């Protein structure tokens, strides 16, 4: 009888412990899955200076990183609880749909095709397609001046093709593997210009190794509205991110981030766009 009493008592204690453990796990899961607790995973680019770059010491820097960090803080996450992961352009919608990331800030232009799959907060930056030329080159004053010039095209990009098809049909496209190679070619005069979004060009030109060597032409050939991508239908998160972006502009943090990341390239950025105002 005594053994049965001890066993019954032990069983009661065990049941109570299990109940407490279950409650604790549930609380922890709730905290981790809600704004203000646990960790948050954010998608960024890791190879674009000035926007999203993983530095040799394993840290992350750039305008998109600053935007994402500010937004995460407003959602209740400390910087130490942010996990940045690389999201390449072709993988962004999939990463959001699978739930691999909470949101993405990665030179992610808002367009109708993407809006079929994901939602966007913002926009937080209005960029334009532009060209980068050598600082001492005054021969390219308009897109038409690119005719008969060697225009660098990064493999897989449509930017240079857009220039050739619509503005400078006689431009000579030179295909390179990446923007860094284009910059080397530009510096060595193997090419005369490099084209992509002005924000990306400014980021490269602002690197210490490139300061003073290049300049943006300022052609503004297209409008690129950078937004924060998130799961389609998540209206609550979209509202919170929009509020965070609005606050970032109003308290001056947006301007500071622009100056810190693009200032050395003399990037003539557009004023901070109004939330929901996508410029066609």
**The domain spanning residue 201 has which CATH number?**
3.40.190.10
Residue 32 lies in a domain: no
Give the full edge-to-edge strand order of the sheet including 60-61: 47-48, 52-54, 60-61
- Whether 226 contacts 127, CB under 8 Å: yes
Residue 255 lies in a domain: yes
Residue 179 lies in a domain: yes
Residue 14 lies in a domain: no
Residue 277 lies in a domain: no
Residues of the chain predicted below pLDDT 70: 1-37, 156
In angstroms, the CA 162 to CA 20 distance is: 62
Same domain, 133 and 111: no
Count of domains forming the chain: 2
Same domain, 135 and 122: no
In angstroms, the CA 58 to CA 151 distance is: 33
pLDDT of residue 195: 95
The residue among 20, 57, 77, 15 whose CA lies nearest residue 237 is 77
In angstroms, the CA 154 to CA 174 distance is: 8
pLDDT digits (tens, 9 = 90+) for 213-234: 999 999 999 999 999 999 999 9
Residue 20 lies in a domain: no
Exposure string of 210-233, with b = 16+ CB inside 10 Å and e = fewer, is beeebbbbebbbeebbbbbbbbbe
pLDDT of residue 235: 98
pLDDT of residue 17: 43
pLDDT of residue 36: 52
Q: Which domain holds residue 184?
A: 129-216
Same domain, 181 and 113: no
Residue 87 lies in a domain: yes
pLDDT of residue 208: 87
pLDDT of residue 267: 82
Residue 274 lies in a domain: no
**pTM across the whole model:** 0.81
């Amino acid at each position: 009888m005594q053994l049965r009493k001890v066993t019954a008592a032990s069983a009661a204690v065990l049941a109570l412990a299990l109940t407490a453990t279950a409650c604790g796990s549930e609380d922890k899961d709730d905290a981790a899955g809600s704004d203000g607790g646990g960790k948050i995973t954010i998608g960024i680019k890791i190879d674009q200076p000035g926007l999203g770059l993983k530095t040799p010491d394993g840290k992350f820097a750039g305008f998109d990183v600053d935007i994402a960090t500010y937004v995460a803080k407003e959602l209740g996450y400390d910087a130490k609880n942010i996990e940045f992961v690389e999201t390449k352009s072709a993988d962004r919608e999939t990463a959001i749909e699978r739930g691999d990331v909470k949101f993405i800030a990665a030179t992610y232009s808002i367009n109708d095709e993407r809006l079929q799959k994901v939602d966007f907060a913002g926009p937080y930056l209005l960029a334009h397609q532009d060209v980068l030329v050598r600082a001492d080159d005054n021969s390219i004053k308009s897109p038409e001046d690119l005719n008969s010039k060697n225009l660098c095209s990064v493999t897989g990009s449509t930017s240079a093709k857009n220039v050739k098809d619509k503005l400078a049909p006689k431009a000579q496209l030179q295909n390179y593997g990446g923007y860094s190679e284009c910059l080397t070619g530009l510096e060595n005069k193997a090419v005369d210009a490099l084209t992509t979004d002005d924000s990306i060009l400014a980021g490269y030109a602002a690197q210490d190794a490139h300061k003073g060597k290049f300049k943006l032409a300022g052609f503004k050939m297209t409008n690129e509205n950078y937004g924060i991508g998130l799961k389609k239908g998540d209206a609550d998160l979209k509202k919170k991110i929009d509020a965070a972006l609005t606050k970032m502009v109003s308290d001056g943090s947006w301007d500071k981030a622009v100056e810190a990341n693009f200032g050395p390239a003399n990037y003539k950025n557009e004023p901070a766009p109004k939330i929901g105002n996508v410029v066609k």
